[in-house]
Amino acid sequence: MTKYQHIFFDLDNTLWDFDRSSILAFDKIFEIFNLINYGIPSAKDFHKTYFDHNNRLWDLYRKGEIDKDFLKIERFRLPLKDYGIVDEKLSIDLGESYTDYAARLVALVPNTMEVLNYLKEKDYKIHLITNGFLEVQSIKMQASGLDKMIDYSFVSEVVGYKKPDHRIFHHAMKEVGGNIEDSVMIGDDLSVDIIPAKEIGMSHIYFNRKKISHNEMLDYEIFDLIEICKIL
Ligand SMILES: [Mg+2]
């Protein structure tokens, strides 16, 4: 047994394969809304166009410059515009439909359940700290069965702070009865999950799934979730 008691995971692209479920959801909405008739060549092409806009809008959302409702519609309004389509209703409908499908089309990162079962057997408390929307994150957790494995979930929309704000980490540790010494943060995003944990003195495991090069000195770095079993 290690000194740790509380294991905090990020959700998207750490346990939940956000990229994969996003692609599956694009296949779905492309078909349902008959987007080929609007002149969009393929679901893959549409997803590519959407991807950059979505990333940029998420940055603005994290900084508090735009709100959730604006983000949901704008991330479809802008890519549609790139194809010369200006259709307010379609932007709204796609936004809603996508959010719904992306949460229901279950796609877990390989070895998620193996690792969570291992941690449970070792009596660790497993928690989530995620920047997503409450409704969406709840559907993902229920649809995938993650909800049964998780002790406490901290969703930024509810807590009132988003990662990398240190306050969401302090809040989460306090709520579960943990502290800096007995807690560890695991996530796929260096600047959002890992650097802030390091800054407050919390142990951290960087899940560098995409093998991104960096110069940070870290406690642990892994490339597959299963490696957690060697650390904890
Ligand atoms: Mg993530």
Domain boundaries of the chain, sorted by first residue: 6-17+108-231, 18-104
Tell me the angle at which helices 43-62 and 18-32 cross, rounded to the nearest 10 degrees: 120
Do 124 and 6 contact (CB within 8 A), yes or no?
A: yes
C-beta neighbour count of 174 within 10 angstroms: 10
Q: Tell how far the Cα of 18 is from the centroid of ligand 1, in angstroms.
A: 8
pTM over 0.85: yes
CATH code: domain 18-104 is 1.10.150.240
At residue 203, φ and ψ (nearest 5 deg) are -65, 150
Q: Tell how far the Cα of 179 is from the centroid of ligand 1, in angstroms.
A: 22
pLDDT tens digit sequence for 119-174 = 999 999 999 999 988 988 999 999 999 999 999 999 999 999 999 999 999 999 99
Whether residue 94 has pLDDT greater than 90? yes
Q: Tell how far the Cα of 12 is from the centroid of ligand 1, in angstroms.
A: 4
Q: Tell how far the Cα of 30 is from the centroid of ligand 1, in angstroms.
A: 25
Rounded percentage of the chain residues whose pLDDT exceeds 90: 92
Tokens 């449970």 correspond to 120
Instruction: Tell me which residues have their CB within 5 A of the ion that is ligand 1.
Output: 10, 12-13, 188-189
Q: Residue 108: pLDDT band by 50, 70, 90 thresholds? A: very high
Q: Residue 62: pLDDT band by 50, 70, 90 thresholds? A: confident
pLDDT reported for residue 132: 83
Q: Tell how far the Cα of 10 is from the centroid of ligand 1, in angstroms.
A: 6
Do 190 and 205 contact (CB within 8 A), yes or no?
A: no
CA angle 130, 132, 133 (to 5 degrees): 130
Tell me the angle at which helices 88-104 and 134-144 cross, rounded to the nearest 10 degrees: 40
**Of 45-54, 61-70, 171-180, 200-209, where does mean pLDDT reach its minimum?**
61-70
Q: Which amino acid is at 171?
A: H
Whether residue 19 has pLDDT greater than 90? no
231: Cα separation from own chain's centroid: 23
CATH code: domain 6-17+108-231 is 3.40.50.1000
